[in-house]
Amino acid sequence: MRFLGAQGQSTEELMVSQSTTSSVPVAGVAERDRPGAGEQVLDAVARSWRPVVLLLACLVLWWVITAAELVEAYLVPSPAKTLQVMSDKAGYIWHHTWITTYETLLGFVIAAIVGVLAAVLMVYSSSIERTLYPVLLFAQVIPKVAIAPLLVVWLGFGLAPKVVVAVLIAFFPVVISMVTGLKAVDPEMIQLSATMGAGPLQTFSKIRFPASLPHLFSGLKVAVTLAVTGAVVGEFVGANEGLGYVIQQANGNLDTPMLFAGLLVMSLIGVVLFVLVEFAEKLLLPWHASRRGAAVTTTY
């Protein structure tokens, strides 16, 4: 038995007709093939040459200023002197770099986990949101440099105060981005899932959480760079290890080459962690990355 459609067509004829219609290109829209590995490399090079040129220009300007002796050498060391210090004391710098990196990663992971959980609670409970949101805002506007000495008094000079400062700085962007992502889901999708019998857990795992991931990764990229700042701020207040300790000691000894070396390495940590989070975003959200890569191009 064959079922007839509204226009007397059988189900087989309707399926053939729909498949034929879907293959017809839409006017003004051209679909592009997915880029291969070579095209992705070329695209990455095309997107990265401008910041590389700008970075080289800054290095050249730094070299010109020091070579022309426009400032005193004890104020701004030359790039060659800074690189020499980084080479001569590579083991010393690497030890303190690992300490700061460990504190940063630990604080970032804790901030990400707690931030996501807090955002979920705030979205699913209006009373929790009205209670927790003012507290988060109040905690965010307090300068972390001001409360870092208190954390050292309360928690000592070990790892804990540095991690806590990193968590406090990185926590807020994770919460805000996750709340925004969870609330940005189309209400019709939520209604559709409820109509189809999906429970709250299924709706969250299949609809809300995947749709919020682009917003979450935006917050994570901001949070991971702020976590570096938090770890270094904690080391400024009280520590005998880490890049913050290195910078503080170099500043007290007027050792500007080591001071610049610590600043460069600290900046490099932030850049590397940002790139790693961005890579994880592209790996976990291929649909989002392909959409930004212009898989469909308008022609009018």
CA dist., res. 300 & res. 291, Å (int) = 19
- Residue 286's CB: how many other CB atoms inside 10 A? 12
Do the Cβ atoms of 114 and 167 come closer than 8 Å?
yes
Q: Is the pTM of this model over 0.75?
A: yes
Residue 96 lies in a domain: yes
Residue 5 lies in a domain: no
Kindly state whether residues 188 and 264 are assigned to the same domain.
yes
Residue 286 CB partners (closer than 8 Å, separation 6+): none
Do the Cβ atoms of 242 and 233 come closer than 8 Å?
no
Do the Cβ atoms of 61 and 54 come closer than 8 Å?
no
Kindly state whether residues 117 and 150 are assigned to the same domain.
yes
Do the Cβ atoms of 159 and 103 come closer than 8 Å?
yes
Q: Which two tokens stand for residue 165?
A: 């400062």
Kindly state whether residues 191 and 244 are assigned to the same domain.
yes
pLDDT at position 32: 53
**CATH at 217:** 1.10.3720.10
- Residue 211's CB: how many other CB atoms inside 10 A? 15
Please give the chain's pLDDT, 300 residues, in tens: 444 444 444 444 444 444 444 444 545 445 455 556 566 667 766 777 788 888 889 989 999 988 888 888 888 999 999 999 999 999 999 999 999 999 999 999 999 999 999 999 999 998 999 999 888 888 888 888 888 888 888 988 889 999 999 999 999 999 999 999 999 888 888 888 878 877 778 888 888 899 899 999 999 999 999 999 999 999 998 888 999 999 999 998 889 999 999 999 999 999 999 999 999 998 888 876 545 544 443 333
DSSP states of the chain: ---B-TTS-BHHHHHHHHHHHHTSPPTTEEEPPPP-HHHHHHHHHHHHHHHHHHHHHHHHHHHHHHHTTSS-TTTS--HHHHHHHHHHTHHHHHHHHHHHHHHHHHHHHHHHHHHHHHHHHHHH-HHHHHHHHHHHHHHHHS-HHHHHHHHHHHH-SSSHHHHHHHHHHHHHHHHHHHHHHHHTS-HHHHHHHHHTT--HHHHIIIIIHHHHHHHHHHHHHHHHHHHHHHHHHHHHHS-SSSHHHHHHHHHHTT-HHHHHHHHHHHHHHHHHHHHHHHHHHHHH-HHHHHHHTTSEEE--
pLDDT at position 35: 57
Kindly state whether residues 91 and 201 are assigned to the same domain.
yes
Residue 24 lies in a domain: no
Do the Cβ atoms of 246 and 93 come closer than 8 Å?
yes
Residue 20 lies in a domain: no
| Distance, first Cα to last Cα, the chain | 47
Kindly state whether residues 192 and 86 are assigned to the same domain.
yes
Quote the number of domains for the chain. Answer: 2
Kindly state whether residues 108 and 182 are assigned to the same domain.
yes
Residue 84 CB partners (closer than 8 Å, separation 6+): 257
Kindly state whether residues 65 and 161 are assigned to the same domain.
no
Residue 179 CB partners (closer than 8 Å, separation 6+): 119, 122, 123, 129
pLDDT at position 299: 34
The parent domain of residue 100 ranges over 81-293
pLDDT at position 286: 81
